[in-house]
Amino acid sequence: MTTWISTRKKAILAIIVVLALTSIVFIAYSIIHSKESPDVTAAFIEEHMTNDNGTIATYLKPASSEHPDIVAGREALSESLGLWMQYAVISGNRSRFDDSVQLLTTYFLHQEPEPYIRWKLTPDGESEVTTNALGDDLRILDALLKAFKRWGDDEYLQLAQEIGSTLQASAQTQGYLVDYHDFRR
Protein backbone atom coordinates (compact mmCIF):
# COMPACT_ATOMS: atom_id res chain seq x y z
CA MET A 1 0.00 0.00 0.00
CA THR A 2 2.87 2.42 0.65
CA THR A 3 4.20 1.92 -2.89
CA TRP A 4 0.79 2.75 -4.30
CA ILE A 5 0.68 6.00 -2.32
CA SER A 6 4.18 7.01 -3.30
CA THR A 7 3.40 6.24 -6.96
CA ARG A 8 0.29 8.36 -6.69
CA LYS A 9 2.31 11.16 -5.06
CA LYS A 10 4.88 10.91 -7.83
CA ALA A 11 2.19 11.21 -10.49
CA ILE A 12 0.65 14.26 -8.80
CA LEU A 13 4.07 15.83 -8.38
CA ALA A 14 4.86 15.20 -12.05
CA ILE A 15 1.58 16.82 -13.09
CA ILE A 16 2.29 19.85 -10.88
CA VAL A 17 5.81 20.21 -12.33
CA VAL A 18 4.49 19.99 -15.90
CA LEU A 19 1.79 22.60 -15.14
CA ALA A 20 4.34 24.88 -13.47
CA LEU A 21 6.77 24.64 -16.39
CA THR A 22 3.96 25.23 -18.88
CA SER A 23 2.85 28.30 -16.90
CA ILE A 24 6.40 29.68 -16.79
CA VAL A 25 6.83 29.22 -20.54
CA PHE A 26 3.45 30.85 -21.21
CA ILE A 27 4.21 33.82 -18.92
CA ALA A 28 7.67 34.31 -20.46
CA TYR A 29 6.19 34.17 -23.97
CA SER A 30 3.53 36.74 -23.01
CA ILE A 31 6.10 39.09 -21.47
CA ILE A 32 8.43 38.90 -24.46
CA HIS A 33 5.65 39.57 -26.95
CA SER A 34 3.93 42.30 -24.94
CA LYS A 35 7.02 44.53 -24.51
CA GLU A 36 6.87 47.84 -26.33
CA SER A 37 8.98 48.05 -29.42
CA PRO A 38 11.23 51.08 -29.93
CA ASP A 39 8.87 52.21 -32.67
CA VAL A 40 6.10 52.61 -30.08
CA THR A 41 8.41 54.79 -27.99
CA ALA A 42 9.42 56.82 -31.05
CA ALA A 43 5.77 57.24 -31.97
CA PHE A 44 5.03 58.53 -28.46
CA ILE A 45 7.87 61.04 -28.70
CA GLU A 46 6.75 62.20 -32.13
CA GLU A 47 3.11 62.49 -31.07
CA HIS A 48 3.35 63.89 -27.54
CA MET A 49 6.86 65.27 -27.03
CA THR A 50 7.35 67.22 -30.25
CA ASN A 51 6.80 70.96 -30.42
CA ASP A 52 5.05 72.54 -33.40
CA ASN A 53 8.43 73.33 -35.00
CA GLY A 54 9.61 69.71 -34.70
CA THR A 55 11.97 70.16 -31.73
CA ILE A 56 11.68 67.66 -28.89
CA ALA A 57 10.09 69.08 -25.74
CA THR A 58 11.66 68.47 -22.35
CA TYR A 59 8.35 67.99 -20.52
CA LEU A 60 4.80 67.12 -21.54
CA LYS A 61 3.21 70.16 -19.94
CA PRO A 62 4.04 73.77 -20.73
CA ALA A 63 5.69 75.85 -18.01
CA SER A 64 7.76 79.02 -17.87
CA SER A 65 11.44 78.93 -17.08
CA GLU A 66 12.30 80.98 -14.02
CA HIS A 67 15.95 81.31 -14.99
CA PRO A 68 17.76 80.92 -18.34
CA ASP A 69 19.90 78.10 -16.91
CA ILE A 70 16.89 76.09 -15.71
CA VAL A 71 14.81 74.05 -18.14
CA ALA A 72 11.04 74.10 -17.92
CA GLY A 73 7.98 73.07 -19.87
CA ARG A 74 8.27 72.44 -23.57
CA GLU A 75 11.73 73.94 -24.03
CA ALA A 76 13.99 71.94 -26.34
CA LEU A 77 17.49 70.77 -25.44
CA SER A 78 20.45 69.92 -27.62
CA GLU A 79 20.77 66.86 -25.39
CA SER A 80 17.43 65.50 -26.62
CA LEU A 81 18.32 66.29 -30.21
CA GLY A 82 21.64 64.43 -29.88
CA LEU A 83 19.99 61.37 -28.36
CA TRP A 84 17.34 61.42 -31.09
CA MET A 85 20.05 61.63 -33.76
CA GLN A 86 21.95 58.71 -32.21
CA TYR A 87 18.74 56.68 -32.10
CA ALA A 88 18.07 57.46 -35.77
CA VAL A 89 21.53 56.22 -36.76
CA ILE A 90 21.29 53.05 -34.63
CA SER A 91 17.81 52.24 -35.96
CA GLY A 92 18.91 52.96 -39.53
CA ASN A 93 16.24 55.63 -40.02
CA ARG A 94 17.89 58.09 -42.38
CA SER A 95 14.74 60.14 -42.86
CA ARG A 96 14.48 60.73 -39.09
CA PHE A 97 18.19 61.58 -39.02
CA ASP A 98 17.88 64.06 -41.89
CA ASP A 99 14.92 65.69 -40.13
CA SER A 100 17.09 66.00 -37.02
CA VAL A 101 19.94 67.57 -39.00
CA GLN A 102 17.42 70.06 -40.38
CA LEU A 103 16.34 70.91 -36.80
CA LEU A 104 19.99 71.24 -35.81
CA THR A 105 20.86 73.65 -38.60
CA THR A 106 17.59 75.62 -38.42
CA TYR A 107 17.19 76.09 -34.67
CA PHE A 108 20.16 74.90 -32.62
CA LEU A 109 23.15 75.86 -34.75
CA HIS A 110 24.11 79.50 -34.32
CA GLN A 111 26.46 80.64 -37.09
CA GLU A 112 27.85 84.00 -35.96
CA PRO A 113 30.69 84.56 -35.30
CA GLU A 114 31.39 80.80 -35.44
CA PRO A 115 29.08 77.78 -35.60
CA TYR A 116 28.11 76.51 -32.16
CA ILE A 117 25.16 74.53 -30.84
CA ARG A 118 22.89 76.38 -28.42
CA TRP A 119 22.04 74.05 -25.58
CA LYS A 120 18.46 75.24 -24.98
CA LEU A 121 15.61 76.70 -27.03
CA THR A 122 12.18 78.05 -26.23
CA PRO A 123 9.29 75.90 -27.50
CA ASP A 124 9.07 78.08 -30.63
CA GLY A 125 12.76 77.59 -31.45
CA GLU A 126 14.21 80.86 -30.16
CA SER A 127 17.30 80.90 -27.98
CA GLU A 128 17.78 82.94 -24.84
CA VAL A 129 21.22 81.44 -24.16
CA THR A 130 24.57 82.02 -25.83
CA THR A 131 26.25 78.92 -24.46
CA ASN A 132 26.76 75.38 -25.64
CA ALA A 133 26.91 72.15 -23.64
CA LEU A 134 30.00 70.07 -24.40
CA GLY A 135 28.43 66.68 -23.67
CA ASP A 136 25.53 67.42 -25.99
CA ASP A 137 27.86 68.74 -28.69
CA LEU A 138 29.96 65.59 -28.54
CA ARG A 139 26.84 63.41 -28.74
CA ILE A 140 25.71 65.29 -31.87
CA LEU A 141 29.22 65.03 -33.37
CA ASP A 142 29.17 61.30 -32.67
CA ALA A 143 25.83 60.93 -34.43
CA LEU A 144 27.00 62.96 -37.43
CA LEU A 145 30.19 60.93 -37.81
CA LYS A 146 28.35 57.61 -37.46
CA ALA A 147 25.75 58.77 -39.98
CA PHE A 148 28.54 59.70 -42.39
CA LYS A 149 30.07 56.26 -41.93
CA ARG A 150 26.70 54.54 -42.39
CA TRP A 151 25.25 56.56 -45.29
CA GLY A 152 28.29 58.33 -46.75
CA ASP A 153 26.69 61.78 -46.96
CA ASP A 154 29.45 64.42 -47.01
CA GLU A 155 27.07 66.99 -45.48
CA TYR A 156 27.21 65.08 -42.18
CA LEU A 157 31.01 65.09 -42.16
CA GLN A 158 31.24 68.77 -43.11
CA LEU A 159 28.81 69.76 -40.35
CA ALA A 160 30.72 67.66 -37.79
CA GLN A 161 33.98 69.31 -38.87
CA GLU A 162 32.52 72.82 -38.50
CA ILE A 163 31.21 72.10 -35.01
CA GLY A 164 34.40 70.31 -34.01
CA SER A 165 36.56 73.18 -35.24
CA THR A 166 34.59 75.62 -33.10
CA LEU A 167 35.02 73.40 -30.06
CA GLN A 168 38.76 73.21 -30.65
CA ALA A 169 39.08 76.95 -31.19
CA SER A 170 36.74 78.30 -28.51
CA ALA A 171 35.75 75.69 -25.96
CA GLN A 172 39.16 74.83 -24.55
CA THR A 173 41.05 76.07 -21.54
CA GLN A 174 44.70 75.09 -21.24
CA GLY A 175 44.18 72.36 -23.83
CA TYR A 176 41.12 70.82 -22.13
CA LEU A 177 37.59 71.01 -23.48
CA VAL A 178 35.32 72.81 -21.01
CA ASP A 179 31.72 71.99 -20.06
CA TYR A 180 30.37 75.07 -21.79
CA HIS A 181 31.50 78.26 -23.45
CA ASP A 182 29.66 81.57 -23.57
CA PHE A 183 29.99 82.68 -27.19
CA ARG A 184 28.69 86.20 -26.57
CA ARG A 185 31.24 87.04 -23.90
Query: How many C-beta atoms surround the C-beta of residue 66 within 10 A?
Result: 8
Q: In whole numbers, what is the pLDDT of the chain averaged over residues?
A: 89
Global model pTM greater than 0.85:
no
pLDDT at 21: 83
Q: Report pLDDT digits (tens) over 31-78.
A: 666 655 668 889 999 999 999 999 999 999 999 888 878 899 999 999
Whether residues 139 and 112 share a domain: the answer is yes
Whether residues 28 and 53 share a domain: the answer is no
pLDDT at 130: 87
Whether residues 22 and 94 share a domain: the answer is no
Whether residues 71 and 136 share a domain: the answer is yes
Whether residues 14 and 104 share a domain: the answer is no
Domain that holds residue 137: 38-177
Calculate the alpha carbon distances from 114 to 16, 29, 41 in Å: 72, 54, 35
Residue 183 inside a domain? The answer is no
Check whether 117 has a pLDDT greater than 60.
yes
Mean of pLDDT values over 140-167 = 96
